[in-house]
Chains A and B, each alone.
Chain A
Amino acid sequence: MFLTTEEEQSLQGENGEAIQLAMSVLVKLGEMYGADRMIQIENVHVDASSYYGISDAGMEFVEKLAGTGATYKVPTTLCIASIDFESCSEFGVSEECVEKQLRIAQAHSTMGADPTWTCAPYQCGSSVEFGQRIAWGESNAIAFVNSVIGARTIRCADFVDICAAIAGLMPEFGLYLDDERKGSILVRLEDLDTRQFTSADYAALGYYVGGVADSLVPVLEGVSKSVSVDQLKAFSAAASTSGSIGLFHISEITPEAKNLDEAFGGEKPSETVIFGEDELREARHSLATQDGADPEIAILGCPHYSVEELDEVARILKNKQVSPDKQLWVFTNKCGKQESDKKGILEKIAESGAKVICDTCFILFPTPAWELGSIATDSAKMAHYAPGLGDFCVSFLDKEQCIESVTK
Chain B
Amino acid sequence: MVREMESSRIRCNTLLPGVARGTALVTSQPICFWGGLDPKTGTITEREHELKGQNVAGTVFVFPTGKGSSTTSAILLESVRRGTAPAAIVNLKTEPILVIGAIIAEKLYDCIIPIVDRPEQDPTKVIRSGDWIEVDASEGEGWIHLR
State A116–B50 Cα separation when bound (angstroms). Answer: 41
B11 at the interface (CB under 8 A from A): no
Which chain A residues border B70 with CB–CB below 8 Å? 47, 137, 139, 155-158
State A64–B106 Cα separation when bound (angstroms). Answer: 13
State A159–B77 Cα separation when bound (angstroms). Answer: 10
Q: How big is chain A's contact interface, by range?
A: 20 to 34
Q: Which of A145-177 contact B (CB under 8 A)?
A: 155-160
Which chain A residues border B80 with CB–CB below 8 Å? 57
Which chain A residues border B105 with CB–CB below 8 Å? 57
B positions within 8 Å CB-CB of A = 15, 35, 39, 68, 70-75, 77-78, 80-81, 96-97, 99-101, 103-105, 107-108
A157 with B97: CB separation less than 8 A: yes
Given the interface pairs A155-B70, A158-B73, the reply to whether A33 lies near B78 with Cβ below 8 Å is: no
Beta-carbon nearest neighbor of A58 in chain B: B74
Return A14 CB to nearest CB of chain B, in Å. 17
Q: 22 A–B contact pairs at CB < 8 A?
A: A21-B104, A25-B103, A25-B104, A47-B70, A53-B71, A55-B39, A56-B81, A57-B81, A57-B108, A61-B104, A64-B108, A137-B70, A139-B70, A155-B70, A157-B70, A157-B71, A157-B96, A158-B73, A159-B77, A160-B73, A160-B97, A160-B100
A106 at the interface (CB under 8 A from B): no
A57 with B99: CB separation less than 8 A: no
A388 with B35: CB separation less than 8 A: yes
A318 at the interface (CB under 8 A from B): no
- Candidates B15, B39, B68, B100; contact of A159 at CB < 8 Å: B100
The 9 closest A-B pairs by CB, nearest first: A157-B70, A57-B81, A57-B77, A55-B78, A57-B78, A157-B97, A32-B96, A54-B74, A158-B74
Which chain A residues border B75 with CB–CB below 8 Å? 55
A29 at the interface (CB under 8 A from B): yes
Given the interface pairs A25-B103, A32-B96, the reply to whether A159 lies near B108 with Cβ below 8 Å is: no
Q: Which of A29-74 contact B (CB under 8 A)?
A: 29, 32-33, 47-48, 53-58, 60-61, 64
A244 at the interface (CB under 8 A from B): yes
Beyond contacts A28-B99, A159-B73: 15 other A-B pairs, Cβ-Cβ < 8 A, are A21-B107, A25-B100, A25-B104, A32-B96, A54-B71, A55-B75, A57-B80, A58-B74, A137-B70, A157-B73, A158-B70, A158-B71, A158-B97, A160-B100, A388-B35
Beta-carbon nearest neighbor of B101 in chain A: A159
Return B19 CB to nearest CB of chain A, in Å. 19
- Candidates A28, A61, A244; contact of B68 at CB < 8 Å: A244
Which chain B residues border A28 with CB–CB below 8 Å? 96, 99-100, 103
A24 at the interface (CB under 8 A from B): yes
Which chain A residues border B101 with CB–CB below 8 Å? 159
Which chain B residues border A158 with CB–CB below 8 Å? 70-74, 97
State A56–B77 Cα separation when bound (angstroms). Answer: 9
